[in-house]
Structure 1
Amino acid sequence: MKLKKLLKHDFVIEFRSHLVTEFEDKLFVSALRNYCSYPNPLRFNNFAFAMRELLRHVLNRKAPDAKVNKCIWFSPTLDDSEKANRGQKLKYCMQAGLQDHLLSEAVRNNIKNYIAEYQEHIETLNSFAHVGEATYGLEPKKAYQKLKEVILTFNEAMEILESGKEEVLSYIPEKLSDYVENALVEEIPNSLDELSTHTVIDYVEFNGFQVMDIDESFIYIRGESTVHVALQYGSSSDRRKGEGATINDSFPVYFQCKSKASKPKGAFVVKDSIEVSTESWWQ
């Protein structure tokens, strides 16, 4: 099978969706070129070896040593105090710098299971890269089946990491709701000052927020709420005289928030990220 035709297969296209850098894509295409070198009986072994190296590059891109070793849970090895092992890199891909105790026991156990499952996929790729009677000089049909198995194994490995991270991201809001609300309430008044002489927030109704990402330092949040306010026109003395007015109203609020991965209680709203939709007020 020629390279041009091979690149059009669905499982190959899916595989390339996991590649981000130009180097990763070039390495993958080069691995396929190895496979397409039909006179060479080692063509599949060379392909599998290149794929194993590609997976290592992808994991290092997703979890660089410089980021992993900044996580509070990171434990240095005796060989290199700054280098993370594969298990630590896999953990970073799923929970980044979030402390273990901030996750439920069920989520922590699932992360361990995901790591174990990923490690099994690595062993499968290693077995393909080793030269032996079972993989040397494969006939075309068998070679294609093995190639597809290698690529699907890689795709499944990426899905394992994505599933673990999604589980962590969906769990975090349970721990951060109160902290995000407090941070938001402190910042909203500044965004409503132009509507009245004095703005009093009656309460903030959370419509939900989503954790967009986590890294070694922060949890990144985006959400929306409804702020119910009393808009006072005139000073307090004017109100005592029966002058001025107070109007109750509500407005949608959109915001971004950050929280330290090692200490989510310190959640703070990103400066200038609060957007209070007051269009209805001016219409």
Structure 2
Amino acid sequence: MTYIVQGGLPIEFVTDSLQLDHDAVCCPLIKAMDKLNKATHVREKTLLTDDAAIRALVDAALNSLIDLFKATRECQQEVHRQLAGEIHDAVLDTFLGETLQELDEQSTHTLFDYHQTEDIQVMTIDDEFIHLKVSGTVYADLQYGSGSDMRNDMGAVISDSYPYTARLQSTCRSSREIIKDTVDVSVDNSSFFE
């Protein structure tokens, strides 16, 4: 049950940093699973024949499962909330440190201005990594002509913006740090050609 909710995140991180009550989330489902196991492994003393008792068992199991899904979502939301600043900086470093073909092919010189993160999704949390997907908008100045052309009033600079997506990872052990070489940014420049 623990792995379903938090993947490989340490329990201390989930309870202390994410402020999720591990026992409150997992115990009701464990109890429901125990009851289901008793009903599944039919013995004379565990056989349920009363319709109301069967319905109560199923209702308790389904409610526990719904609570488990809610806790999983809460955990993911809290992870991305805590990672938001790191994610922004990791994407910023990529825009500043790498030449992105989708931006570079549009002008003589492409100058990154800034970016906005609009959505962060925790795709998966496994035993080792937190896999994230980010979408946002990148703002850039597209310069046509050389620096000399610009000084001689023969060039132009156009400011534009484009949607981007980025995939990145963090380790479960150091969940507040983005692994820099896992940042993969893709810019959708199709609006430039319309």
TM-score, with structure 1 as normaliser: 0.57
For 2:77, what is the secondary structure of its paired residue?
A: helix
Deviations 1:45-74 (A, max 9, x none): xxxxxxxxxxxxxxxxxxxxxxxxxxxxxx
Q: Give the match for residue 183 of structure 1.
A: 90
Give yes or no for contact 2:48–2:54 (8 Å, CA) kept in 1: no
- The RMSD of aligned alpha carbons is 2.8
Question: 1:114 and 2:17 equivalent?
Answer: no
**Counterpart code for 2:178:** G
What is the distance in 2 between the residues matched to 1:198 and 1:101? 48
What is the 5 A alignment of 1:1-283? 90-100=1-11, 102-103=13-14, 105=16, 107-125=18-36, 127-128=38-39, 129=41, 131-132=43-44, 135=46, 138=49, 142=50, 144-188=51-95, 189-190=99-100, 191-264=102-175, 265-268=177-180, 274-283=185-194
Q: 1:181 to 1:101 in 2, by over 3 A?
A: farther
Shift of 1:203: 0.9
User: What count of residue pairs does the alignment treat as equivalent?
Assistant: 188
The percentage of counterpart residues that share the same residue type is: 24
Shift of 1:113: 0.8
What is the distance in 2 between the residues matched to 1:136 and 1:213? 39
Determine which structure has more spread, i.e. the larger CA radius of gyration: 1
**Structure with more of its chain in strand, by fraction:** 2
TM-score, with structure 2 as normaliser: 0.79
**Counterpart code for 1:280:** S
Shift of 1:244: 1.9
For 1:195, what is the secondary structure of its paired residue?
A: coil
For 1:122, what is the secondary structure of its paired residue?
A: helix
Which moves more between the two structures, 197-206 or 259-268? 259-268
What is the distance in 2 between the residues matched to 1:109 and 1:177? 18
**Counterpart code for 2:158:** I
- Structure 1: gaps of 5 or more residues: 1-89
**Structure with more of its chain in helix, by fraction:** 1
What is the distance in 2 between the residues matched to 1:106 and 1:232? 45
